[in-house]
């Protein structure tokens, strides 16, 4: 404990507070309620164009001060009847009426609003929106009426568990999604671990022609979500608390950074194999165990694979396995042999400069006839050298000289 901290006072910085990643941004928990506090205090940031779930609280009172940014607050003026809601006595039409008739006000820096129990509300960010929220201590008291990420009521435990994420995480996910879209078809199973990307993945895959996208979070046994497009071209969502898939149920299975968290990876690959139909495809990724220069924001106890151990695991079941690299750099031994970029005309200039300067003191001939060519050659060399040294987000076919942060494998039964 710091010299500035005692049993009666604790002094810290905002950077040292607990940060909870959300699909729309993040929360910093400055004071997290019982047992240390009789209140809760958060700094909340919602990213541009994102919005919170439509929700209300059964017990919690909130007061919010907008620190920066612009957005909208949607709310009902009168509280929902919580006892009636808990007894499931509201019809779907009545709930939808609450949602459709919410009022809308603009919020910006300096705005303050108070939310009492039973008030249905949502916040939408026009620009990055940061606000300070003070509340009573019931932090898991969240009843979500509508949530585009499929989150249910209460505290989302998986948002509070550390896993390995790296700088530019969402950028790498975007390129990975572009990579899998042409490979994904028919009925898809998307497995993940502690990530809130199921809505965006499902929507992209459905827009690209897939029939159904099932989602399973591997740390929540048996619970699955389903998204599909109905005959009216509307995106539909269903959730199942218990569900068991039959063999050969899927055309495509996607499993990004899940296999290293399984207690029995070989058993999991066997399961994927059985769930795929005869022409099915498994697209699976893992961290590279041998990557030494990673920059993880949150260490964990997962078991990554080397290239050889990953391929050995997959080839026990799948006859064809194509391996790809993501966020790749060359290995250090290869990098040592690369020549440094230098001016391609430097030797010629060293030999001829005295003659050229005597004949053309103002370098007019060089500027007119040589400069453009020299600059183009230099630019190409610098670009190639930069690409060899720096990680690429687009997955590329694996080569022995690669040292990627991630391995992505495309596995076919035949």
- Binned at pLDDT 50, 70 and 90, residue 148 comes out as low
CB 324 within 8 A of CB 398: yes
- Binned at pLDDT 50, 70 and 90, residue 409 comes out as very high
Statement: residue 292 has pLDDT above 60: no
Mean pLDDT, residues 244-271 taken together: 91
Q: Round to whole Å and give the CA distance between 20 and 159.
A: 6
Return the pLDDT at 204: 87
CATH class, range 169-331+394-412: alpha beta
Q: Please, what's the largest Cα pairwise distance for the chain? A: 96
Statement: residue 38 has pLDDT above 70: yes
Whole-number percent of the chain with pLDDT over 70:
73
Per DSSP, helices labelled H in 36-128 are 82-86, 92-100
Same fold, 14-160 and 169-331+394-412: no
Statement: residue 391 has pLDDT above 60: no
- Binned at pLDDT 50, 70 and 90, residue 201 comes out as confident
Strand partners, 168: none
Superfamily per CATH, domain 14-160: Jelly Rolls (2.60.120.10)
Measured between its terminal Cα atoms, the distance across the chain in Å is 59
The residue ranges of every structural domain in the chain are 14-160, 169-331+394-412
Q: Annotate 308-377 with DSSP letters as a single string.
A: HHHHHHHHTT-SEEEEEEEEEEE-HHHHHTSPPP--TTHHHHHHHHHHHHHH-TT-HHIIIIIHHHHHHH
Return the pLDDT at 134: 96
Minimum mean pLDDT range among 82-96, 336-350, 365-379: 336-350
Q: Round to whole Å and give the CA distance between 347 and 360.
A: 19
Q: Which two tokens stand for residue 298?
A: 């949150």
355 or 154, greater pLDDT: 355
Statement: residue 353 has pLDDT above 60: no
Minimum mean pLDDT range among 243-247, 282-286, 287-291, 304-308: 287-291
| 0.75 exceeded by pTM | no
Statement: residue 389 has pLDDT above 90: no
Burial of 42 (0-12, 13-18, 19+ CB in 10 A): buried
- pLDDT, one tens digit per residue, over 171-182 is 677 788 899 999
């Amino acid at each position: 404990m710091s010299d500035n901290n005692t049993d009666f006072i604790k002094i810290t910085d905002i950077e040292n507070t607990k940060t909870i990643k959300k699909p729309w941004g993040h929360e910093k928990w400055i004071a997290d309620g019982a047992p240390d506090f009789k209140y809760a205090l958060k700094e909340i940031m919602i990213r541009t164009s994102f919005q919170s779930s439509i929700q209300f609280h059964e017990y919690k009172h909130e007061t919010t001060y907008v620190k920066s940014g612009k957005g909208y607050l949607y709310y009902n003026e009168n509280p929902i009847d919580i006892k009636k809601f808990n007894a499931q006595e509201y019809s779907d039409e009545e709930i939808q009426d609450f949602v459709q008739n919410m009022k809308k006000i603009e919020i910006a820096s300096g705005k303050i609003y108070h939310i009492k129990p039973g008030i249905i509300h949502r916040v939408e960010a026009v620009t990055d929106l940061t606000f300070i929220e003070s509340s009573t201590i019931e932090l898991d008291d969240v009843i979500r009426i509508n949530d585009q990420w499929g989150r249910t009521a209460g505290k989302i435990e998986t948002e509070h568990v550390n896993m390995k994420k790296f700088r530019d995480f969402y950028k790498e996910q975007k390129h990975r999604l572009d990579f899998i879209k042409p490979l994904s078809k028919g009925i898809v199973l998307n497995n993940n671990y502690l990530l809130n990307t199921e809505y965006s993945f499902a929507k992209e895959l459905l827009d690209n022609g897939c029939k159904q996208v099932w989602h399973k979070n591997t740390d929540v046994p048996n619970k699955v979500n389903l998204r599909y497009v109905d005959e009216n071209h509307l995106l539909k969502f269903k959730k199942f608390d218990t569900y068991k898939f039959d063999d050969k149920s899927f055309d495509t299975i996607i499993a990004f950074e899940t296999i290293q968290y399984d207690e029995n990876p070989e058993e999991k690959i066997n399961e994927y194999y059985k769930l795929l139909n005869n022409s099915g495809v498994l697209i699976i990724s893992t961290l590279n165990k041998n990557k030494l220069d990673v920059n993880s924001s949150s260490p964990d106890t997962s078991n990554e694979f080397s290239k050889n151990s990953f391929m050995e695991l997959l080839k026990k079941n799948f006859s064809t396995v194509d391996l790809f690299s993501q966020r790749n750099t060359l290995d250090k031994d290869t990098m040592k042999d690369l020549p440094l970029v230098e001016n391609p005309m430097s030797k010629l200039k060293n030999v001829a400069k005295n003659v050229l300067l005597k004949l053309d003191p103002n370098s007019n001939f060089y500027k007119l006839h040589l400069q453009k060519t020299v600059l183009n050659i230099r630019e190409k060399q610098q670009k190639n050298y930069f690409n060899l040294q720096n990680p690429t987000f687009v997955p590329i076919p694996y080569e022995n000289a690669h040292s990627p942060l991630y391995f992505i494998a495309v596995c076919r039964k035949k």
